[in-house]
C-alpha cells in the first residue's frame, strides 16, 4: 500500500508545476490583476499628456515675435536681414514683424506695459544703434539676436556665413565610459522599479491563502518545498505578463513618437545580450526577493505580523539598490566585488557590469550563485513554515494526518 502510494505521489517538480499553474490561472483571470496592469499606465499617460501640453504651452509662450518700430526704410532693412539670417540659422531666430502705426513719437515702453500686441520685445532706434525694450529676461535673451540682425541691416555683417568643415569622431574613451555608466544606471533603475512593483504580489498571495487556511491544506497534500516553488514561479510568470503588457504599451508610444528612447549608449556586451541578461537578472532578483517574502510569511503567525515584517525587507532592498549604485562608481574595488557577491544586490551590480564590461563569464558565476541562494531560501522558508504553521510534534502530526485523510477522501470521491 505504501509502495503504491509513493509511486502515485507527485515529484516535487510535478507538484510545483501544479501549484504554479493553479496560481497563474487564478491570478491572470482575476479582475484585480487587470486593474493592477492598468494602474501604472494611467500615471504614465497623464504624465506624457501633461508633458506634451506643457511643452506646447511653453513653445507658444516663448514664440512671441520681436516688434520693429524704426523708420520705414530701416524696418525694411531689418526685416530683410532677419529673413536672410532665419534661412541660415533656422529656429534660432525668433519671428520679427513691423509694429503698425509706429509714429515718430512712438513709446515702446507704454505699448508693452499696456500689453497691446503679442511682442516679446520692441526694437527702436536705427540699425546702427538699436534699442531693445522688454522685460529683463527677454532683453537678455534677445539682445544678441537683435544685434546680429541689426548688423546685417547696416551691412556691417557678412551676407552669408562661411561653411564650417567638421571632423566627427564616434566617441572618445572618456565619453564612451561615461555613456555606458548612464546605460548601467538606467538598467539598474528599471530593474529595481519592476522588482519592487511586482514582488509584492508574492506576499499578498501568501497572506490571502494563509488567512483562509488554503496554504495549510496544500502543505498537507504535497511537500512544502513544492508549494513555495510553485508560488514563486507562478508569480514570476504573472510578472512577465505584466512586463509584456507595459512593454507593448511603451513600444506603441515609442512608435507613435509620443516618447523617445533618449541618448543611451550601446552597452559593452551589446544590446541583444544586455536585454537577455536584464530579463534573467529580473527573474533572479524577483525569485530572491519573493523567496525572502515567503520566508517572512513562514515566520509570522498572523497577517498583521506578515505585513509588519515585510517593511524591513522593503527598506533593505532600497539600501541594497543604493549600494549597487554606489559600487558602480567604484569599478574594480571591494565595494563592486561585495555588491556582485551579496545575493540581493548581485542582479543590480551584474546588470551594470554588463553595460560597462564586455566579459561574459562573470555572469555565469553570478547566476549560479543566485540560483543556489534561491534554493537555500526556499528550503529554509519551507522548513520554517512546517515548524511554525504546521506545528511539528504530536499535534502537528494529527493535523497533517487529518488533512491527508480529507485530501485522500476527496481524491477518491472524484475518481469514483
Residues 6+ apart with CB under 8 A from 41: 246, 249
Altogether, the residues listed in the chain come to a count of 416
For cell 506634451, name the residue. Answer: 52
Domains in the chain and their CATH numbers? 8-40+174-415 (no CATH), 64-153 (3.40.190)
Q: Which residues contact 305 (CB under 8 A, 6 or more apart)?
A: 299
Residue 154's contacts (CB-CB under 8 Å, 6 or more residues apart) are 77, 127, 128
| Alpha carbons 275 and 269: distance in angstroms, whole number | 10
Which of the given ranges, 15-24, 59-68, 87-96, has the highest pLDDT on average?
15-24
* Most confident of the following: 146-150, 181-185, 345-349, 380-384: 345-349
- Tell me the C-alpha distance between 175 and 157, whole Å: 37
Calpha distance 266→60 (Å, rounded): 36
Q: Quick: pLDDT tens for 166-213.
A: 554 444 445 567 778 888 888 898 899 888 888 777 766 766 666 666
Identify the band that residue 156 occupies on the pLDDT scale cut at 50, 70 and 90: low
User: Average of pLDDT values for 136-142?
Assistant: 82
> For residue 263, which of 179, 188, 185 has the smallest C-alpha distance?
179
Instruction: Give pTM, 2 decimals.
Output: 0.66
C-alpha cell belonging to residue 285 = 532578483
Q: Read off the pLDDT of residues 31-52 as tens digits, 9 standing for 90 and up.
A: 778 877 777 666 666 666 665 5
Kindly indicate the confidence band of residue 362, based on its pLDDT and cuts at 50, 70 and 90. very high
State the Cα–Cα distance between residues 140 and 132, nearest whole angstrom: 10
Distance CA 367, CA 362 (A): 9
Amino acid at each position: 500500500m505504501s509502495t503504491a502510494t509513493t509511486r502515485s505521489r507527485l515529484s516535487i517538480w510535478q507538484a510545483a508545476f501544479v501549484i504554479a499553474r493553479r496560481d497563474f490561472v487564478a491570478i491572470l483571470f482575476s479582475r484585480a490583476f487587470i486593474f493592477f496592469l492598468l494602474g501604472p499606465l494611467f500615471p504614465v499617460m497623464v504624465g506624457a499628456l501633461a508633458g506634451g501640453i506643457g511643452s506646447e504651452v511653453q513653445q507658444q509662450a516663448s514664440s512671441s515675435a520681436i516688434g520693429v518700430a524704426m523708420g520705414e526704410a530701416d524696418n525694411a532693412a531689418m526685416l530683410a536681414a532677419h529673413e536672410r539670417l532665419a534661412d541660415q540659422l533656422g529656429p534660432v531666430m525668433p519671428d520679427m514683424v513691423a509694429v503698425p502705426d509706429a509714429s515718430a513719437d512712438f513709446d515702446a515702453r507704454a505699448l508693452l506695459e499696456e500689453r497691446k500686441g503679442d511682442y516679446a520685445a520692441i526694437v527702436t532706434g536705427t540699425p546702427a544703434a538699436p534699442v531693445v525694450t522688454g522685460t529683463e529676461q527677454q532683453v537678455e535673451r534677445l539682445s544678441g539676436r537683435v544685434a546680429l540682425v541689426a548688423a546685417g541691416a547696416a551691412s556691417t555683417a557678412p551676407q552669408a556665413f562661411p561653411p564650417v568643415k567638421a571632423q566627427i569622431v564616434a566617441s572618445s574613451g572618456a565619453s564612451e565610459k561615461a555613456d555606458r555608466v548612464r546605460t548601467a544606471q538606467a538598467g539598474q533603475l528599471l530593474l529595481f522599479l519592476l522588482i519592487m512593483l511586482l514582488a509584492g504580489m508574492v506576499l499578498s498571495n501568501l497572506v490571502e491563502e494563509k488567512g483562509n487556511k488554503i496554504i495549510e491544506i496544500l502543505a498537507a497534500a504535497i511537500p512544502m518545498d513544492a508549494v513555495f516553488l510553485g508560488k514563486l514561479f507562478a508569480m514570476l510568470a504573472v510578472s512577465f505578463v505584466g512586463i509584456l503588457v507595459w512593454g507593448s504599451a511603451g513600444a506603441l508610444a515609442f512608435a507613435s513618437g509620443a516618447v523617445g528612447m533618449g541618448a543611451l549608449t550601446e552597452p559593452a556586451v551589446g544590446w541583444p545580450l544586455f536585454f537577455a541578461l536584464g530579463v534573467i537578472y529580473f527573474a533572479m532578483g524577483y525569485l530572491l526577493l519573493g523567496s525572502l517574502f515567503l520566508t517572512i510569511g513562514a515566520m509570522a503567525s498572523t497577517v498583521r505580523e506578515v505585513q509588519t515584517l515585510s517593511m524591513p525587507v522593503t527598506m533593505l532592498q532600497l539600501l541594497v539598490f543604493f549600494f549597487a549604485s554606489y559600487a558602480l562608481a567604484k569599478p574594480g574595488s571591494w565595494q563592486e566585488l561585495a555588491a556582485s557577491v551579496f545575493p540581493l544586490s548581485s542582479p543590480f551590480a551584474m546588470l551594470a557590469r554588463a553595460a560597462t564590461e564586455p566579459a561574459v563569464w562573470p555572469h555565469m558565476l553570478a547566476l549560479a550563485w543566485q540560483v543556489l541562494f534561491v534554493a537555500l531560501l526556499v528550503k529554509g522558508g519551507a522548513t520554517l513554515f512546517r515548524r511554525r504553521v504546521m506545528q511539528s510534534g504530536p499535534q502537528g502530526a494529527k493535523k497533517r494526518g487529518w488533512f491527508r485523510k480529507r485530501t485522500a477522501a476527496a481524491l477518491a470521491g472524484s475518481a469514483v
